[in-house]
Structure 1
Amino acid sequence: MSGAETNRRHETHIVADPALPTILITREFGASPELVFRAYIDPDLVVQWLGPRRLTMRIDEYDARTGGSYRYVHREDDGTEYGFRGVFHEVRLNERLVQTFAYDGFPDGVSLETTTFEDLGGRTRVTTKSLMDSVEARDSMIKSGMQRGIREGYERLDELLSGRQSGNADRRTEKEGLRP
């Protein structure tokens, strides 16, 4: 596979249907669905990749099972914090996650997210569809810079899956078998 094909395969596609209050996010990863899914549900791994590079993450709660809930906080260097919370409505091992997502700064703006993990024979296509209350709420989320955070988070997930993170994270992922 050429370098151009590899880069295209690992592009993050983010689409907002003009007529619907949805965002569709699609990305392929060079790892099995089992490894990618584990990176989504294991809080020790989630903290290593979810969100923009400039932020650090603290997980207050992360119970990734059907009926479980989560809360985490992203923190800027200046101390500014952004909290997020939700409930896992369906956790189907290596196949599907359905969860709510809310930002503490806008607690009534809850979205419903369905993420699927498609086996591509040693690779995985992750597709997330987020459904918001309105097109205006969707547009507000897009204007918040979420696209950059998603793209950077997925780049970090690529690094985690391939063992390219530095320091303890690299040794930890190799030990736990997260290398594809």
Structure 2
Amino acid sequence: MTEIEAVPDLPVIRIVREFEAPPERVFRAFVDPDLFTQWCGPRSIDTTIDVWDARTGGEWRYTARRASDDFRMGFWGSFHEVRPAERIVQTWSYDGAPDGVSLETTTFEPLDGGRCRVVATSVVESIEIRDQTLRSGMDVGVREGYEQLDELLEGES
């Protein structure tokens, strides 16, 4: 189950999800562009990597497309810290709000039985932006994306 919560009185969104795979495999799915495109976002979206340099100080950009209605949106940011199988700190921006940026820290916590808990904490500019983000439908993309990540990890076993 994916938990998505607004942290009370802070411009913060926290997403928590457990996976049936060790941190090393889950982390790899976050930083390997070929794997990332297989699970990122809702099932109706295809993701194309434009730039991907998953290392501390690297940058990234991808485009999400849905052929059925000509939907297209670009996302970009910087990898501020990439610590294998432990954490990723990065910025996120998207074409629809070029002046907006969030800072996201994603941790990969080992659990018993070779499992992993992913905790993604995003800090945005204001509570208003936090609430707009939560109302945007991002929950569908996160939930479906993590379901697809489950399937990908299961297929790698």
Q: TM-score, normalised by structure 2?
A: 0.97
- 2:39 is matched with 49
Paired residue for 1:125?
Answer: 117
Partners of 1:69 and 1:124 in 2: CA distance: 26
Secondary structure (helix, strand or coil) at the match of 1:128 reads strand
Gaps of 5+ in 2: none
* Unaligned residue ranges in structure 1 (runs of 5+): 1-10, 164-177
Percent identity between matched residues is 59
Q: Where does structure 1 differ by over 6 angstroms across 4 or more consecutive aligned residues?
A: none
Alpha-carbon distance, 1:79 to partner: 2.2
Superposed CA deviations along residues 128-176 of structure 1, whole A, max 9, x for unmatched, are 000000001111111110011000000000000001xxxxxxxxxxxxx
Which structure has more strand as a fraction of its residues? 2
Could you tell me how far apart the structure 2 residues matched to 1:118 and 1:137 are? Answer: 28
2:136 is matched with 144
Give how far 1:125 is off. Answer: 0.2
**TM-aligned CA deviation for residue 80 of structure 1:** 2.0
Q: What residue in structure 2 maps to residue 12 of structure 1?
A: 2
Cα separation, 2, equivalents of 1:94 and 1:146: 25
The structure that has the greater radius of gyration is: 1
1:158 has 2:150 as partner: yes
Query: Cα deviation per residue 1:2-57 (whole Å; 9 max; x = unaligned)?
Result: xxxxxxxxx00011023000000000000010100000000000000000000111
Which of 54, 60, 79 lines up with 1:88 in the alignment? 79
Deviation for aligned residue 1:76? 1.2
Q: Which has the higher contact order (CA 8 A, sep 6+)?
A: 2
